[in-house]
Structure 1
């Protein structure tokens, strides 16, 4: 595959998406159903947070799968299949296994202490389910990806590129997402973690993410041209879900369409405004992966320490945000980043 200029907007979107994931997880603490999905839950919920949460929820995880597929497209430009699988095993599979054994049990122990449960060591994928899915997608789709690499300059390769820069390409992505909702028949579109729907949707988004980078300028010129149309449609679809369905009974196929329009919108505005290098991006691009792995420890510890305080609920939310962010930064900056033998366990390259 031909070499291309580094896409800093994709790096920024990865950082932003994981940042939104952290905020989303913190807001779950202040929802009346948080404990039912394994979070420490505040006795005084902040239900108003559910409106922005619901808007994010239909596209934040699909966006991460799209971006992950894009990363593989960049990676195979200079790698053969053995090199790709070796590198992805080191950067994804190793942290996934390490996290299940050493990271996830810590926040389960905090949960057990908070709710006065019997303390036990528990192996669970928890928030790391995403990494397991990504590694499986690499294994499943690598033959197709390397075939596309081989035929890139052919007539078929060029037609594929042009297809995903045309309205038909947009319709293919949207239509595939909609069909998935009818085939899988999930309870709710937003239930991604450790579900069949989450695996299939992630596989589709991962594949399309690869194809959108493979298409080179065709797709990106299209979303840039139509960016205002995309954000208007995405906003209208969310308004229908908010005011007509009251965020409860919206059909999954409608959420699938809305998800696609939000993802296209984010790509368009990211391509327009974020495609530039900075020292902050260089730092965050490396930091965001380890922080994703460890953030639940500090979220649960912060909830354990702060929720019992006799202060306003909104102050508790702010303090947990600050505690989680500070804890993740300190552990990453002064331990994970600096101790050489730890770096590979958090997806970082050895220095």
Structure 2
């Protein structure tokens, strides 16, 4: 997933841009798979749900959003260059809050409608639902995810969280850019070898011990103490990483070792979690949560190293991806759910249905994004820079 919003093109490094696009692509794949994971809550569920999907989805779930927030911190540092703090806050607010408001009003509503109808708690009729939804009606308990608030942001929660972290880090910039703050940054970017693999895990492990038992994930912004601590820390890590050549060289040097470590820790985490659940050992939950922190950080370090090693080149698809990834992120989950509802009566089966659903999601996102990119007034609503003044053939870089 990008980091949202995109980075000024003059500051871009190809591997960061490619990783940004691939990370959000992974989010889309994850949401497609959520329809088919047996025994996991999601807005709708396929009759072809498969238990075997739980293992790869758990392996992915332990670091996928961590990667997104780390890349977002990288983007913050790159956008910061040449911007005043008020200018930075204005820019990021426009690129995050406007798409969030538009997305909640126009893109997301079909999702709670479809979930409520599937749950038997909302009567069919999307027009009637919208009238009630926009009027702030009360809903039956459990009608859809977010029914308590009357409205929901569903998958767009990331934009709200990223905006809050942007404000907090912007407020801390005088400290971060002071002599003391720069010493802390240099200490982080100066980590090498085992220290780079071990030390950044310590705050994450501390959050698991102190916060995780008391703050289960909610994505409601208010009651998400553990996830806020984790995501904001990774956001700051990304800001510190920046374009430091020494640290990136070390990430590349360690890429094989960290890849092997991530595979070993991931297998150990998932295997021990399965054993603990099977034999009913609740005391193992906290140690395994800390082990999962080590796996997540090893995976992130390996991903950054391999991305810099393999992706730092001007890929032909990169310019298109940089402009398309934000609209795709906003549109994909609604596209998935619309197609789910449309395909369900066809009873396509466990092989044809996911294939058609994936192809259809790509086609819908591709087609709608092509329209968004070409219509000037739509672009800011999907997080893209407005076109240049008439008479200029190129758009502003993001």
Are 2:375 and 1:339 aligned? Answer: yes
Work out which of the residue numbers 235, 248, 253 in structure 2 matches 1:220: 248
Q: Higher helix fraction: Structure 1 or Structure 2?
A: 1
Larger radius of gyration: 2
What secondary structure sits across from 2:345 in the alignment? coil
1:33 and 1:231, CA in 2 relative to 1: closer, same or farther beyond 3 A? same
Q: Is the 8 A contact 2:38 2:53 kept in 1?
A: no
Equivalent residue for 1:20, pick from 26, 31, 37: 26
TM-align CA RMSD = 2.5
**Cα distance change, pair 162–291 in 1 and its aligned pair in 2 (3 A):** closer
Match of 1:176 in 2: 203
Q: Distance in 1 between matches of 2:194 and 2:184?
A: 18
1:53 aligns with 2:57: yes
Q: Secondary structure at the match of 1:205?
A: helix
Contact conserved, 2:39 with 2:51, CA < 8 A, in 1? no
Secondary structure at 1:307's aligned position in 2?
helix
Distance 1:55 1:192, change over 3 A: farther
Asked if structure 2 preserves the Cα contact closer than 8 Å seen for 1:230 and 1:265, the reply is yes
Output the CA distance in 2 between the equivalents of 1:77 and 1:170.
Answer: 28
After superposition, the C-alpha distances for 1:246-291 in whole angstroms (9 at most, x for unaligned) are 2875621111110000011100000000011123111011101111
How far off is 1:161 after superposition? 5.6
Equivalent residue for 1:80, pick from 80, 84, 103: 84
Q: Does 1:144 align with 2:172?
A: yes
1:315 to 352, 368, 386: 352
Could you tell me how far 1:169 is from its partner in structure 2? 4.5
Q: Distance in 1 between matches of 2:263 and 2:214?
A: 24
Q: State which of 81, 94, 98 in structure 2 corresponds to 1:90.
A: 94
Which of 259, 273, 276 is equivalent to 2:313? 276
- Which deviates further from its counterpart, 241-250 or 305-314? 241-250
Alignment match, 1:293: 330
Provide TM-score, normalisation by structure 1: 0.90
User: Gaps (5+ residues) in structure 2?
Assistant: 1-9, 124-128, 134-149, 278-284, 388-398
The answer for the alignment partner of 1:160 in structure 2 is 187
Give 4+ residue runs of structure 1 displaced > 6 Å after superposition. none
**Structure-2 change in CA distance of 1:159 and 1:342 (3 Å):** closer
TM-score (norm 2): 0.80
CA drift of 1:221 comes to 1.4
SS in 2 for 1:313: coil
The equivalences for 1:222-241 within 5 A come to 222-241=250-269
**C-alpha distance in structure 1 between counterparts of 2:248 and 2:46, whole Å:** 43
Aligned residue-pair number: 343
- Equivalent-residue separation in structure 2 for 1:161 and 1:245 (angstroms): 31
Distance (whole Å) between structure 1 residues aligned to residue 85 and residue 252 of structure 2? 33
Higher deviation after alignment, 306-315 or 289-298? 306-315
Report how far residue 104 of structure 1 moved: 1.4
Answer whether contact 1:192 1:199 (CA < 8 A) is retained. Answer: no
Aligned to 1:199: 228
With over 3 angstroms needed to count, the CA separation of the structure-2 counterparts of 1:320 and 1:186, relative to structure 1, is farther
- Secondary structure of 1:79 counterpart: coil
Q: For the structure 1 residues 237 and 71, does the alpha-carbon distance in structure 2 shift closer, same or farther, using more than 3 Å as the test?
A: same
